[in-house]
Chain A
Amino acid sequence: DAMVIQNPRYQVTQFGKPVTLSCSQTLNHNVMYWYQQKSSQAPKLLFHYYDKDFNNEADTPDNFQSRRPNTSFCFLDIRSPGLGDAAMYLCATSSRPGQGATDTQYFGPGTRLTVL
Chain B
Amino acid sequence: GEDVEQSLFLSVREGDSSVINCTYTDSSSTYLYWYKQEPGAGLQLLTYIFSNMDMKQDQRLTVLLNKKDKHLSLRIADTQTGDSAIYFCAVALYNTDKLIFGTGTRLQVFP
Real binding pair: yes
A residues apposed to B, CB below 8 Å: 4, 6, 31, 33, 40-43, 45, 48, 50, 55, 88, 90, 92, 94, 96, 99-102, 104-110, 112
Count chain B CB atoms within 10 A of each CB in A48, A94, A107, A108 and give the residue with the most: A107
Given A31-B97, A90-B43, 12 further pairs, Cβ under 8 A: A42-B102, A43-B43, A43-B101, A88-B40, A100-B95, A101-B30, A101-B31, A101-B95, A102-B98, A104-B31, A105-B99, A108-B42
A96 touches B97 (CB 8 A): yes
Which residues of chain A come closer than 8 Å to B90, judged between CB atoms? Answer: 105
A80 to B55, CA, bound (A): 47
A38 to B93, CA, bound (A): 24
A116 to B5, CA, bound (A): 34
| Residue in B30, B86, B93, B101 whose beta carbon sits within 8 Å of that of A40 in the complex | B86
Which residues of chain B come closer than 8 Å to A88, judged between CB atoms? Answer: 40
How extensive is the interface on chain B, given as a class?
20 to 34
A101 touches B42 (CB 8 A): no
Min distance, Cβ A29 to any Cβ of chain B, angstroms? 11
Q: How many residue pairs bridge A and B at CB < 8 Å?
A: 66
Which residues of chain A come closer than 8 Å to B102, judged between CB atoms? Answer: 42
B45 touches A106 (CB 8 A): yes
Chain A residue with minimal CB distance to B50?
A101
B96 interface residue, CB < 8 Å from A? Answer: yes
11 contacts across the A-B interface (CB closer than 8 A): A33-B97, A41-B103, A42-B101, A88-B40, A99-B95, A101-B30, A101-B92, A101-B93, A101-B96, A102-B97, A102-B98
A102 touches B106 (CB 8 A): no
Q: Which positions 36-56 of chain B face chain A at CB distance < 8 Å?
A: 37, 40-45, 48
